[in-house]
Structure 1
C-alpha cells in the first residue's frame, strides 16, 4: 500500500496524518518510525500515535486502529481501504 495514498484518503475524511522516520533513533537501533493521526469523524477521541521499528509495522498498527474505530462505531468494515486489495490493484505488494 502506498502511504501517500492512504494519507490522502484520510485527509479527504478530515484526518490529519504525520508519518515520520527519525534518523537519530534509527542509528541508535530504536523504534525510528512514527505515525500520528488526529481529527476527522472521531472528534475528540481521534488522537493516535505509534512508534515502531519499521514503516510496515506503523502502517499495520494504523490500519488496525482505524478498523477498530470503524467497528466500534457500527459501520461496515468496507469503509476502510483493504490493504491487500488496494495494493494489488495498484501493482504493489501489501
Structure 2
C-alpha cells in the first residue's frame, strides 16, 4: 500500500510540474487527438479490468464465496483382531 501511495504521489508531482512549466504552443493540434487520448485511457481501464476480473467478480458476487472441498473415499481399515493363518 505504501508503494502504491508513493507511486501515486510521484506521478501527481510530475503532472503538476509539467502543467506549471508548460509554454504556449503555436502549432495546429488535430481535433481527433483528444479522442485518441480518450481511447487510450479506455483501453487501459479495460485491460486493468480484464486483469483483475476475478476480484471484480468477487466484489459483485452473491454472499461469501467459499472454496469447495472435495471429499475423497478412503479404503476401509481391516480389523486388527483377526488371526492370520
Shorter-normalised TM-score: what interval? Answer: under 0.3
Instruction: Considering fraction of residues, name the structure with more strand.
Output: 1
Ranked by relative contact order (alpha carbons within 8 Å, sequence separation 6 or more), the top structure is 1
Question: Which structure has the larger Rg over C-alpha atoms?
Answer: 2
TM score, norm. by length of structure 2: 0.27
TM score, norm. by length of structure 1: 0.25
